[in-house]
Amino acid sequence: MEFECNKTVLGRGGFGIIFNGFLGPNRKPVAVKRLMLEDVDGSEKEEEALRNLKHPNVVELHHVKSDSSFRRMPPREEVLYQLATGLEYIHKRGMVHRDIKPENVLIWVNPEKEEEVLMKWADFGLSKRVNERGSFSTSGVQGTDNWLAPELLKILIQEDELMDGTEGTSSRQRGTVKSDVYAEGLVFGYFYLDGEHIFGNIHSQTDIANNILKNNTVNISKIQPTHVHDLIVKMLSSVPDKRITSSEVVEFLTEYRTQHVRNQFRKGYIEKAGYGILFEGVWGTTRLPVAIKRMQSIHVLGQKQEESWLGLNHDNVVKLFHAENDSKFRYYALELCQASLNQIFLKDGDPQKYRGPKPQTEEALYQLAMGLEYIHEKKLIHCDLKPKNVLLWTGNSSTVMKWTNFGSSKEIDAKGTCPINEIKGGLDWLAPEILKALENEENQSENLAQLLWECCTFKSDVFAEGLVFGFLLLGGLHPYGSVSRNIQTNINQDKPASMSTKIPTSPIGELTLKMLAYKQENRLTASEIVEEFGDIRKVEINCIHDYGHNASLPVLCRNYGYENLYIIKLLIENGIEVHCNPNNEGNALNIIINHYREENRANIVELLSKEEIRQRGRTQAGSSSKAMKRKHN
């Protein structure tokens, strides 16, 4: 959906200007509010609130977008961090840029995800290779005077004196990568001073160059906050040997970012989780809300587990965005979810009980099945599937089930098994083949490790997923009992305590029993489970769901979406009943006339009217035919 904004100003208010404009191909008249970049963050709460409000007496928010002039930028310190890591990389590759200045900082915006904005160093026309000590020949110094380190400006002056025939010296010192750091400090200052130069008037090249040579930082006192001011001072040391390196700039910014995260922890504590503690925080250039898991170094994920989790990207798997550490802890930035599956079934008086929205049981199980199929397709065995490792994410009028906690996950070998020498998961949620390997106390060290290696397979995950399915179907009860010791015994002896007596016969119940087959070879694979769901989920387009409506036509007729016309047309082509009367609130035509107020209403009404006449005519024709047949008989 697009809108256009003309130059007619309707008003000025808050942080923006309001223009007259038009929305969509039908050119619906709208008011367009334009915000400057620095004011966007403060409008997010208003935007979120308006998206959820639909009422005749409340102004409606139709659409939000950015353009090249009024686009979201990363937080200021994130800009510094990105530039610092870029220059550090250049130096680690054995190069000096030699032309660091604002014009050579380019801004990249992900065309598929506008909120992803990256700063990039450009123009390597003057770059040089450096030796192992980070120095290079300074013959033919080039660059822009306003953005050169003092040691390079002095060399330029010497070269000018030699060319003019005035007295000068031909001795030349070698340049170093520290000159780039100085210029980067100037760029940092320029950014924090909103286009001013630290050493003077940006339009006076002579004044700036003279002030650089005299180390007269005329505008540096304006830079706030203090830690940014102090960093730039270290970068602008007039003596190269006393100037910090590009790696030290990154270390400084990283330490501040970590300290900032720790300060946020005090406000955003969520809960203890396994070997760590969960906090609410933000991550990345878009300040994305995340859950930050802090773990002591002795309990952190293994390198392979961390790399595997970082590589997972699926709607039904909790996303691991980033991992970093300080001197004491390792921090993991995770997709922020609202609850775990077991919290749904806590007692009513428990403050941890989840009372928010949740998907229908069949939909929840289908989502989990797709998540595990994806994990197995990535050649990973989760090894710790249980209700506590199922999280619920809510947003955009939907709830999504996600597998989490890959701390015990393993990559499979060529035989489809995984190397594992200990069990970290809950014993009540393990497959019988793993419990059997653990039950014999004589099987220790190498023998136990060998047994676990051989028995931990994809099918072990499938059994554990079946236990989670049963837990959800039974309303929070374990399929094999209520006491931990009995549960493990019942799993070992293939005696489900709850499944056969409490779950009504249904396709999903039968599917769950197939997942809980005692022998691995009799169990389904994760992909076969998804395939079976495909058969279970096949429904008539006019079926009635739990709330009394058919597939979706009344919902489309109540809620605005520009593409509704096309969706309704598709539903009609596939046989949806236009004249049905769900919940006694009238048919689709009644609903859209009573509730729908958007620019494509007329087209939808015309489409529904024609289809209703056609369907009623077909019904009446059928009735007349039957009557004639009875009369003839």
In the annotated binding site for ATP, the residues are: 33
- C-alpha 393/C-alpha 399 separation (Å) is 6
Q: In Å, how far are 40, 51, 300, 603 from 1, measured between CA atoms?
A: 21, 15, 45, 18
Q: In Å, how far are 133, 159, 309, 400 from 407, measured between CA atoms?
A: 42, 62, 9, 22
Residue 195 class from Cβ within 10 Å (0-12 exposed, 13-18 middle, 19+ buried)? exposed
H/E segment holding residue 463: helix 458-473
Residue 233's DSSP bridge partners are none
- C-alpha 247/C-alpha 325 separation (Å) is 17
**Phi, psi of 521, deg, nearest 5:** -65, -20
Place of tokens 């072990």: 460
Concatenate the DSSP letters of all residues of 139-188 into one string: TT--S-GGG--HHHHHHHHHHHHHHHT-S-----PPEETHHHHHHHHHHH
| Tokens encoding 315 | 């709607």
Three-state DSSP string of 569-596: HHHHHCCCCCCCCHHHCCCHHHHHHHHC
Place of tokens 């530039």: 83
| Tokens encoding 216 | 């007269």
| Tokens encoding 324 | 């970093």
Binding residues: 33
Ramachandran region, residue 396 (left: φ > 0; alpha: ψ -120 to 50; beta: rest)? left
Q: Do 340 and 389 form a contact (C-beta atoms < 8 A)?
A: yes
Smallest CA-to-CA distance from 227 within 252, 197, 245, 195 is with 252
- C-alpha 425/C-alpha 478 separation (Å) is 16
* Length reported for the chain: 633
User: CB under 8 Å to 45, separation ≥6 — which residues?
Assistant: none
